[in-house]
Amino acid sequence: MANITVTINGVQVEVPENSTILEAAHIAHIDIPTLCYMKEINEIGACRICVVEVKGAKGLVTACVYPVSPGMEIYTNSKKVREARKKTVELMLSNHNRSCLSCVRSGNCELMQLSREYGVEDPGYYDGEKTEAKIDDSCVHMIRDNSKCILCRRCVAVCSSNQAVSVIGPNERGFKTYIGTAFDIPLSETSCVNCGQCIAVCPTGALRERDFTEEVFAAIQDPTKHVVVQTAPAVRASLGESFGMPIGTNVEGKMVAALRRLGFDKVFDTNYSADLTIVEEANELVERIQNGGKLPMITSCSPGWVKFCEHYFPDMIDNLSSCKSPQQMFGAVCKSYYAKKNNIDPRDIVMVSVMPCTAKKFEIGRPDQDANGVPDVDYALTTRELARMIKTAGIRFESLPDEGYDDPLGESTGAGVIFGATGGVMEAALRTAVETITGEKLENVDFKEVRGVQAVKEATYEVGGLKLNVAVVSGLKNAQALLEKVRNGEADYQFIEVMACPGGCVNGGGQTQVPYGIRNFVDIRAERAKALYAIDEAKTIRKSHDNPFIKALYEEYLEKPGSHEAHHLLHTTYVKREINKKF
């Protein structure tokens, strides 16, 4: 690719010839603010925050979509540019619910940041009629508040372009425009899959997860309850960002220390039940292969993906692994095996999970998720909710000492932690399935062919005389395309991993929000995944079935993988769902 020379703020810069002004400025170490722009997802030049001057052009141009040309002279910080951006922010705020102090995004709002940068104090001189505010709190996982919406359409783009669900979009026209569902039906009655990707990309507080932190604080303070917390693999690679740490910092030890100081009776690791999931899932895969079961078997760890399958691929429900997700397996084991060992009534255990995923809030209420007569999990919190709890409690997270999880449900292997990255479930399952099929010790446990943030990864392995074709896919639009090929007989796999969120759980809808000024140029998926693979590599035990605490669970309680008791506690069922049933 050839380079061309442009001049930005009086300095000559060489940039690739197909660059936009925004990309060229980034190369020149200059940040141009954006609101609507999401690289390769929402390139619409609508918000007008990124306007710049170009010599010879009529009026200001939008840097996010305007291409550079040889000899172009660009001005990103002229008086004209600054005034235009300030006026745009003021106009946005004039139609905005400015209850900023109490907003969940206070201090982490992209609109607030722009207001500070451009000296916007009180845009009251533009006040007048406001667009009618619409609040949709019908879903268990999120709340939509259009009084704080700036019509950037990021949520619309990610729901359509990444997730292929498209249940929200612009309604009405002109000043009356608002983002909503078709015919304004409640979001809960659409085929929304609860993935929360819309929340992750929203620049303001217009979209937020339904918060259950007060309920958890109340449970902790109830002396009659034994409150247990589990933390998902990907949370440790994102939580630190809520406290100013670099993207992808592993804060496992500080997170455990913080949870103890919040008052939880036991602090356990979902990685433990990720190991358990792999043992059950690998056993299920081997059984299907050897006994003519339904293939390809598809993973069932991602509740957003499971709901998507129930809505859009109901004919492939039998392909789903019957294994519960690690979150639900952990709750089932905690309220049975752990309760029995510690002589605790399961009804007195409050099981709290900390997840990178808003769909987990929906999953805990699904049918067949109450193996011991009580819900497997009582509350599912996001990474963001945990960060808020830590801040509310006045805990100085950054200065905490590193502490370890409690036994016996806090021990895990390297295979368990990589669940948080796309390809991790597949790699972990292969480590166990290969040894199960061959009966021989697997020396090289790194299946690097299924690693990375690519949309789709494929590999073929020769295992004990069997040819095993596998595929890994993340992002539901990518999953849709892959499964259409399977459905049409154009692709032949025995095992498929699907994650609803692009890049896997590290990029989940409940993770710490990163401004798109950063996300457009830094692959946060890869940075967070590095932390998980580093933990895996440092582990002494890297295969799930070698976890001594998992072995003890089977010896003392479950007998063997796939046993009657294992199926009762650790497996589930699915339902066929309609698509947007009201229209």
> Using CB atoms within 10 A of its CB, is residue 276 exposed (0-12), middle (13-18) or buried (19+)?
buried
Residue 412 to residue 542: CA distance in whole angstroms: 9
Residue 113 to residue 107: CA distance in whole angstroms: 8
Q: Is residue 215 part of a domain?
A: no
> Using CB atoms within 10 A of its CB, is residue 240 exposed (0-12), middle (13-18) or buried (19+)?
buried
Residue 379 to residue 382: CA distance in whole angstroms: 10
Q: Which of 209, 236, 254 is the last residue of a domain?
A: 209
Asked if 463 contacts 440 with a C-beta cutoff of 8 angstroms, the reply is no
Q: Is residue 89 part of a domain?
A: no
Q: Which of 412, 108, 386, 391 is nearest to 255 (CA)?
A: 386
- The pLDDT, as a whole number, for residue 582 is 43
Both 124 and 264 in one domain: the answer is no
Q: Which of 77, 109, 125 is the last residue of a domain?
A: 77
The angle that helices 110-117 and 79-94 make with each other, rounded to 10 degrees, is 130
User: What DSSP designation does 66 have?
Assistant: P
Q: Which of 209, 239, 270 is the last residue of a domain?
A: 209
Q: Is residue 583 part of a domain?
A: no
Q: Is residue 87 part of a domain?
A: no
* Number of domains, the chain: 3
The residue ranges of the chain whose pLDDT is under 70 are 580-583
Buried b (16+ CB within 10 A) or exposed e, 402-417: ebebbebbbbbbbbbb
Both 321 and 462 in one domain: the answer is yes
Q: Return the bridge partners of 7, or none.
A: 12, 73
CA 581 from centre of chain: 27
Both 306 and 280 in one domain: the answer is yes
Both 376 and 445 in one domain: the answer is yes
Residue 236 to residue 506: CA distance in whole angstroms: 9
> Using CB atoms within 10 A of its CB, is residue 172 exposed (0-12), middle (13-18) or buried (19+)?
exposed
Q: Is residue 85 part of a domain?
A: no
Both 347 and 474 in one domain: the answer is yes
Any idea what the CATH number is for the domain that residue 121 is in? 3.30.70.20
Q: Tokens for 361, please give them.
A: 């809030």
Residue 64 to residue 80: CA distance in whole angstroms: 18
Both 301 and 411 in one domain: the answer is yes
Both 399 and 434 in one domain: the answer is yes
Any idea what the CATH number is for the domain that residue 520 is in? 3.40.50.1780
Q: Is residue 84 part of a domain?
A: no
- Computed from CA positions of residues 434, 440, 441, 443, in that sequence, does the dihedral angle turn out positive or negative? negative
Asked if 264 contacts 460 with a C-beta cutoff of 8 angstroms, the reply is no
Beta strand pairing status for 226-231 and 349-355? Answer: parallel
Q: Tokens for 476, please give them.
A: 């539901």
Any idea what the CATH number is for the domain that residue 26 is in? 3.10.20.740
Asked if 438 contacts 290 with a C-beta cutoff of 8 angstroms, the reply is no
Both 200 and 232 in one domain: the answer is no
Residue 299 to residue 474: CA distance in whole angstroms: 12
Helices (H), 154-292: 154-157, 197-201, 213-220, 252-262, 270-291
- The pLDDT, as a whole number, for residue 124 is 75
Both 241 and 389 in one domain: the answer is yes
Total residue length of the chain: 583
- The pLDDT, as a whole number, for residue 580 is 60
Question: Per-residue DSSP letters for 484-534?
Answer: HHHHTTS---SEEEEESSTTSGGG-TTSPP--HHHHTTS-HHHHHHHHHHH
* CA angle 398–503–462, rounded 5-degree value: 120
Both 240 and 177 in one domain: the answer is no
Q: In the sheet that 495-499 helps form, which strands lie side by side, from edge to edge?
A: 297-298, 495-499, 466-474, 456-463
Both 55 and 126 in one domain: the answer is no
Q: Is residue 92 part of a domain?
A: no
- The pLDDT, as a whole number, for residue 583 is 37
Half-sphere exposure of 293 (CA within 13 A, CB side): 19
Question: What's the pTM value of the predicted model, to 2 decimals?
Answer: 0.96
Asked if 21 contacts 63 with a C-beta cutoff of 8 angstroms, the reply is yes
Q: Is residue 217 part of a domain?
A: no
Domain residue limits at 406? 224-570
Both 61 and 118 in one domain: the answer is no
Whether the upstream peptide bond of residue 233 has omega within 30° of 0, thus cis, is no
